[in-house]
Amino acid sequence: VLVDAKAVLYCPPVLQTNVLAATWEIVLRDKLPCFRAYRRDTNQTIEENCIDKRITWASRSDENPAVQVDPVAITHDGNYTCQIITNDGNFHHGYHFQVLVPPEVTLDQTENGTAVCKAAARKPAAQISWTSEGDCVTEQEPYWGDGTVTVWSTCRWGAAM
């Protein structure tokens, strides 16, 4: 899912009148697990350790127990699991939620024929390639605390080689 987008995560498809309860367990990186639950018989919702206000029920939990993340941030990487409890059994659906960050790309050329392409703060790391052969070197900065990577490639042609 792209950063800054809106994401809706759905539970397993079960006839809503059969639902006794629905729960979400949300495990984000370096955070305590968040639990959200809806009980149909009491029409009650509860939350435990759910401090990120960008993660909410997508609509009324008695109509649809989906959750939404709006807007998606890089801190929303993690595992999201819905469990639907019915008289016929329990049904699970899980998501490994990975946030993608597009790079900020710059391309500079020096007077001596050297070009530098830089893809900053991207997740996953960018892959830079050149269409014409030259003396090219690609490097990357170590991961930032948020999991993004900056990659740059320097290429020299002709007299600069």
* Sequential pLDDT tens for the chain (161 residues): 999 999 999 999 988 888 999 999 999 988 999 999 999 999 999 999 999 999 999 988 778 899 999 999 999 999 999 999 999 999 999 999 999 999 889 999 888 889 999 998 889 889 999 988 889 999 998 776 788 899 999 999 875 44
The CA distance from 119 to 103, in Å, is: 5
Whether 75 contacts 146, CB under 8 Å: yes
Which class for 138: exposed (0-12), middle (13-18), buried (19 or more C-beta within 10 A)? middle
Amino acid identity of 11?
Answer: C
Domains, the chain, in order of start with CATH, read 7-97 (2.60.40.10), 104-160 (2.60.40.10)
What is the layout of strands, in order, in the sheet containing 44-48? 44-48, 34-39, 19-28, 78-86, 89-97
**pTM (two decimals):** 0.82
Alpha-carbon gap, residue 75 to 99, rounded angstroms: 8
Q: What is the pLDDT at residue 111? A: 81
Phi, psi of 84 (to 5 degrees): -105, 125
Q: Which of 118, 18, 11 is nearest to 57 (CA)?
A: 11
Q: Give the separation between CA 143 and CA 57, rounded to whole angstroms.
A: 32
- pLDDT for residue 160: 45
